[in-house]
Amino acid sequence: MKISAEIQGFMTRLGHRFTRPELLARALTHASISTATRPDNQRLEFLGDRVLGLVMAEALLAADRGASEGQLAPRFNALVRKETCADVARQIGLGEVLKLGRSEMMTGGRRKEALLGDAMEAMIAAVYLDAGFDVARDLIVRLWGDRVGGVAVDARDAKTSLQEWAQARGLPPPAYVEISRDGPDHAPVFVIEARLTTGQVERASAGAKRQAEQAAAKALLTRMESSDD
């Protein structure tokens, strides 16, 4: 299988040379361009998510031997969630080499958080199948780097924290409402409102819907905690 200079450069950034380049090709193939003879990366994504989870669980246990399960779980979630995987994908330029269909290309697929996160998980699985668990673990630990040691002691995301705040006061879970979506398809801006049934509302905007929801939740939680004081 001939490997282009672009893919050679990506493997250098990734830090792994594939002995089975067909695994790399599959990890880079999005469902929007797959065919019967060119499978997409969804099955690899499924496997990579599990490999990443095991590596992060081991790393967190080693990093804090006194932490309880309740303390470790939110840190784990922060390290394996799509946003973190997408951040690592951007770090190594994964989006630049993804194989996408025309529709995804036209709507900025190379920058989409969910798409990048899925592709990063698929890449982890490809390395695991190509070279085994130890190599995959070393690659994950290297690429995640200081994220493991730097994950907050209380790493719950803002939406989870706001929901727990509401539940502790006998309130239903917060609602998230998309107020608007502006900008071109390849660079949208979402405006999201976080709402409590008691009437309190906060609004935030971001380039991804999930990011806007988190930002709105954080703003509302900060407001409500301040009013508790």
Of the residues 40, 45, 49, 202, only one is catalytic, namely 49
CB 205 within 8 Å of CB 189: yes
Q: Which amino acid is at 164?
A: E
Nearest CA among 174, 155, 149, 165 for reference residue 70: 155
Cα separation, 125 vs 94, in Å, equals: 15
Q: How many residues does the chain have?
A: 229
Of the residues 113, 121, 130, 213, only one is catalytic, namely 121
Active-site residue 121, yes or no? yes
CB 197 within 8 Å of CB 118: no
CB 176 within 8 Å of CB 194: yes
Active-site residue 64, yes or no? no
Alpha-carbon distances of 102 from 62, 73, 105, 123, 155, rounded to whole Å: 44, 39, 5, 22, 38
Nearest CA among 13, 17, 14 for reference residue 3: 17
3-state helix, strand, coil in the chain (%, to 5): 60, 10, 25
Evaluate the CA torsion angle 194, 198, 199, 200 in order and state its sign. negative
Residues known to be catalytic: 49, 121
